Amino acid sequence: MERILKEVYLPCIINIFALILGLIALAPYLLYRNQDLIKEMVLSRLNKAMVGHTTIEGVYISPFKNFPYISIDLKNLKFYDTDDESNPPIYAFEDVYLGFDIWDIFKGEYTIKKVHLSKGKLHIIRYKSGNINLLLAKSMKAQLEEDADEPLHLDLQKITLNEVSIEKDDEITQQHILVHFSQASSGFKYIDDFIDAHLDASFEIKDMNVPGLGFFKKKHFHIASDLHYNTQKNYVEVRPSQFELEGGLFEMQGSIDLAKNAYLDIEIKGRKPDFKLITSFAPDYIYERLKSYKNEGDIYFKGKIVGAIIDDSPKIDLEFGCKNAHFINPNANKTLKDLNFAGYFSNGAKRSLETSELYLQNLSGRPDESVFRGSFHIKNFIDPYVSVDLHSNLKLESLYELFEIEALKGLSGKMVIDMTIDELLDYNDMEGTLGKLKDGSDSRVILKDVRYKPADYPHAIENINAELDFVAGELVIKIFPGTNQKI
């Protein structure tokens, strides 16, 4: 038996293995031999019908870049809006890899199965006329019939990106957005009139000038989503998916109606109880300060995005909060205990900063030996109307220990706050605004044994005992010991 294995089966296995290696080696050779032909086919296919103009520096064989597909690399591919190459290209990539099936190559057919874009940028502009530069450049000079004998075909199964930026400028709305993809991939399955796709992408919003969405600037995302596209209805179903925003994990599902200006109907909710569900939306300087903090408790986030994103802005409604939560600074071993609040945000009827509102209700907590409770409401983020109801008894040194805000370093003592504000604020005229705070405001601040030693000042300010009352639009300061002063 051992002799049969050595003399019969082993040579067959070796021959099959050698044949497979030979086929793998033959495919790159066939591509290499025809690389000039492939370059001409690609340029001819891209340029013969479109208004725009494509250039390629060279074509190189890359056998293993998109394995198991055999690939060619279109080096420094650029696409211009016209034949004039002095204008900036609409898109440009250092490398565009086209993946071909090995068996198609043996048949003399070049069917593109995979596309990989590396190190480049796509710049989309919507002009005041409503036209989009990419669509104008991709429009056909003439209606051409499909050539069945042409050897280059497209049967795309996968697209991947590496270090690619997409920038959009809208001359009508004056909006601008720049997104950089460190990596992205999407696979496709075609079933009759439907396309199933899986999207996996990591990206950063480098810049965003869109009313009401500026807080997404400099934010990092990772998305893993399953999509079901109806080609007849131009309708996308977003199946249960997840995304990560600065460490906060979220689930989403819904739909996108591309036939109706990309009308969104998306539901979002936090995937696990973590303060990053909330702090991930905060401005960079706040998020960076809080991202190392630990937390415990019942934390929730849910929201809905409904409306068109082309020529309009969607309605955004968010609910978030926590119950009996602890917020822990591991560096100082200090804890904000029993934190509770219920929050709500909406960009309002006009989906703008002007109609946006933010609520924080039933706010309470115990930082170290301190305690606070209150609520906060702001509406119209352009000309804000603010309502504040805050009551606290704070041990001042614990604030620095908990939040490590440099301006609070060297501050000690106690501060009691009872504040009620219900007024329209003008940040550009705070003196005039304070003069109007009469009927809707009633505030008192009491300082007990307060000491403050600024880091860059040689002397400490000590033994501050005072009461500050806001009465009938005037600030009354009572210093103990001493006399009342009115300013």
Residue 441: what pLDDT? 59
Contact 51, 137 (CB under 8 A): yes
User: What ranges make up the beta strands (E) of 86-234?
Assistant: 91-100, 110-126, 152-170, 175-191, 194-209, 220-230
Measured between alpha carbons, how far is residue 220 from residues 203, 240, 409, 413 in Å?
6, 21, 31, 40
**Measured between alpha carbons, how far is 301 from 367 in angstroms, rounded to an integer?**
23
Residue 180: what pLDDT? 96
pLDDT tens-digit map of 213-271: 777 888 899 999 999 999 899 999 999 999 999 888 999 999 999 999 889 999 999 87
Q: Per-domain residue ranges for the chain?
A: 1-172, 331-487
Residue 467: what pLDDT? 87
Of 17, 101, 112, nearest to 74 (Cα)?
Answer: 112
Residue 28: what pLDDT? 52
**Measured between alpha carbons, how far is 374 from 395 in angstroms, rounded to an integer?**
17
**Measured between alpha carbons, how far is 302 from 344 in angstroms, rounded to an integer?**
10
Q: How far apart are the first and last CA of the chain?
A: 109
Residue 43: what pLDDT? 65
CA 400 to chain centre: 31
**Measured between alpha carbons, how far is 26 from 21 in angstroms, rounded to an integer?**
8
In this structure, what token pair is assigned to residue 69?
């597909």
Residues of the chain with pLDDT under 70: 1-49, 62-69, 101-110, 140-154, 211-212, 423-441, 472-473, 480-487
